[in-house]
Amino acid sequence: MGGSANLDSFVESLLESGIQAGFTKEEARRLVYQYGSNTPTVFQLASAHNDEANKYGLPLELFAKLIYGIQYEAVATPIDFFNRRTGAILFDIDSVRQYKENVLTYMSNQFSWEENQTEAYALQLDAALAEAVTSVK
């Protein structure tokens, strides 16, 4: 990788494999900056699970983050994913609102949650969303 002096060339070297995995050039670039040397794994997961992303109505970039988080970062709950792993609840709240049900459904199926457990996680996520939004006077 070569440290920060070679960051631009490192990013450029991975873009084509990101595009081949199904991402746009900008999506691939964002993922490389976020995942660094782990990016090839993210791209491989996305390529292998593209049909699942479509099945659950999730954009491939978000789904790749989710599946990588579950498999490699011990993501166990929607709050863990949207807050601790991606920061989306703070920096991309509209995306969380748009895809929270899809992510809940996917995670519920993956972890075989009972209905009451899924509902509890949904309530936690709604509470976190409410807390993340502050009114400006």
Domain boundaries, the chain: 1-48, 65-137
What's residue 11's pLDDT?
81
Give the distance from CA 109 to its chain's centroid. Answer: 17
Alpha carbon separation from 132 to 17, 62, 123 (Å, rounded): 35, 20, 14
> What type of residue sits at position 70?
I
Distance CA 39, CA 102 (A): 24
What's residue 136's pLDDT?
52
What's residue 13's pLDDT?
83
Domain 65-137 fold = Helicase, Ruva Protein; domain 3 (1.10.8)
Alpha carbon separation from 31 to 10, 55, 127 (Å, rounded): 12, 22, 28
Each residue's pLDDT expressed in tens, for the chain with a length of 137 residues = 455 666 677 788 899 999 999 999 999 999 998 998 899 999 999 999 999 999 999 999 999 999 999 999 999 999 999 999 999 998 999 999 999 999 999 999 999 999 999 999 999 999 999 988 865 55
pTM, 2 dp: 0.89
